[in-house]
Structure formats: structure tokens, C-alpha cells
Homo-oligomer: A and B are copies of this chain.
Amino acid sequence: MTMYKTKEISLKTSEQNQMIDITSMVRDFVKESHVRDGMCFIYVPHTTASIVINENTDPQLRDDILDHIERLIPKGEKYKHSSHAAAHIKASLLGNSKTLLIKDNKLLLGRWEALYFCEFSGPRERVVIVRVQV
């Protein structure tokens, strides 16, 4: 039988569109889990937020990502549901989960990779679920 350790990370977003680096929080949980080789599943139980892996250094690139996604799916477009539809469409395109590998009790991330919670309808209180599979 597979064993799991699961944790909820609580976040408070401050902007309407925002990327928050959660890499160190997930890394710490993997370390505490003492799993040597395993899998790590990240799940966002919201419909206007996503989880994205991208470059870990330049904050201007985060602006570029959020700005361009806004250009592709503008809040000002005419939607049936409300202007809020844009946030739902963004979340559908970027996805609400990620699957990561654990090797030697560490997340197997590339040198430039970081894990971001993406808010599309902030500010709000949010939750990210992290599950490590032993």
C-alpha cells in the first residue's frame, strides 16, 4: 500500500493577478517527509487560480507572464458570466496541479525552475495542497 503525507499551505494574495513563489515551502515539506525517492503532487482547489513552474530569478518575467495572459484573456472582453470569466479561463488554461519528482529527499527541479501559485482573482485567502507519496 502506498503511503502519503499531505499538507495544506495557506496563502494570502494581495493583487488581482499575482505569482507567489512557493518553492521553499514545498521543499521544506519534502525534507520533513524523509522520503528519499517519491512523487510530490501539488493541487490548487480553486477555480480562479493556478500552479505554474517557471524561471526563478527575474521578477520582471513574472510581470511579463501575467501581462501577456491578461492580453490573451482580457477582463474587458464581453463574457456571459461576468468579467470574472476571464479569471476562470486563465485558470483553465494554466491548470490547477503539478506533479514533481523527489530524488534523494529533494525536489528534482531544474536549475532555473521555481513553483508559483498564480492568483487571477485576488486579493483572496487561498490554499495549496501538497502531497508526498512515499
12 cross-chain CB contacts under 8 A: A39-B41, A41-B99, A43-B99, A43-B101, A44-B110, A47-B55, A53-B96, A61-B85, A65-B88, A68-B89, A72-B73, A97-B100
Q: Which secondary structure characterizes the binding site on chain A?
A: mixed
Residue in B58, B81, B94, B131 whose beta carbon sits within 8 Å of that of A92 in the complex: B94
User: Please, which residues of chain B bring their CB within 8 A of the CB of A133?
Assistant: 2, 39
Q: Which of A21-52 contact B (CB under 8 A)?
A: 37-39, 41, 43-47, 52
Q: How many residues of A contact B (CB 8 A)?
A: 57
User: Please, which residues of chain B bring their CB within 8 A of the CB of A129?
Assistant: 101, 108
